[in-house]
């Protein structure tokens, strides 16, 4: 019966996007909407997983998951950091509303990670100085 279920052969060539948080949280719901809408478009170079931080608390201290919603990127079992201009290069801890922005970020992470980079620069600066 194993032919009925998909097998995970390797995630070596794709970015693994993990959203840590709670399904009932408003911020996570907004982010999940974006993630679900782009999943099909980025399936060739990225895969998206959700992790409930109460159900699986193992990562909370390791990745300093104190925000209600956090998105992190991994490539070949290595955490890929991204400079978003916010000072925190480890993760995205707010809900992105623009689908194309998120696709651009994942694509940037993928291109940088394939070249062996552990830190990539975001295509857009999210620092607060540009929000006013």
CATH of the domain at 71: 3.40.30.10
What is the residue-averaged pLDDT of the chain? 84
Give the residue, 6 or 122, on which the prediction is more confident: 122
pLDDT at 1: 37
pLDDT in tens, 56-98: 888 888 888 888 899 999 998 899 999 888 777 788 988 888 9
Rounded to 10°, the helix 26-38/99-114 angle is 70
Residue range of the domain that includes 59: 4-121
Q: Is 99 a domain residue?
A: yes
pLDDT in the model for residue 2: 43
In a domain, 128, yes or no: no
Band (pLDDT 50/70/90 cuts) for residue 53 is confident
Question: Pairing state of beta strands 119-121 and 46-52?
Answer: unpaired
Where does the chain have alpha helices with state H?
A: 26-38, 58-62, 99-114
The reported pLDDT for the residue numbered 6 is: 52
Give the pLDDT score at 56: 85
Domain assignment present for 131: no
Q: Are 23 and 52 in contact (CB under 8 A)?
A: yes
Average pLDDT for residues 13-17, to the nearest whole number? 89
Considering the domain boundaries, does residue 75 fall inside one?
yes
- Residue 104's pLDDT band, with cuts at 50, 70 and 90, is very high
Paired sense of beta strands 78-83 and 119-121, if any: parallel
pLDDT at 132: 43
pLDDT at position 129 is: 56
pLDDT (tens digit, 9 = 90+) per residue, 115-131?
989 889 888 887 765 44
104 lies in some domain: yes
Going by the DSSP 8-state scheme, the letter that residue 4 receives in this structure is: G
117 Cβ contact partners less than 8 Å away, ≥ 6 residues apart = 80
User: How many domains does the chain divide into?
Assistant: 1
Q: Which two tokens stand for residue 77?
A: 């079992």
- The helix (run of H) or strand (run of E) holding residue 109 is helix 99-114
């Amino acid at each position: 019966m194993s032919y009925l279920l998909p097998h995970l052969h390797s995630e070596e060539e794709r970015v693994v996007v993990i959203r840590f948080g709670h399904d009932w949280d408003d911020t996570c719901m907004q982010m999940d909407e974006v993630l679900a809408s782009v999943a099909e478009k980025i399936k060739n170079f990225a895969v998206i997983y959700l992790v409930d931080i109460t159900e699986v608390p193992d990562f909370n201290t390791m990745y300093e998951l104190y925000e209600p919603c956090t998105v992190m990127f991994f490539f070949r079992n290595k955490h890929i950091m991204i400079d978003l201009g916010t000072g925190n290069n480890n993760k995205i801890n707010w809900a992105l509303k623009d689908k194309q922005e998120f696709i651009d970020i994942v694509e940037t992470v993928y291109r940088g990670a394939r070249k062996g980079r552990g830190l990539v620069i975001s295509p857009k600066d999210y620092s607060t100085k540009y929000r006013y």
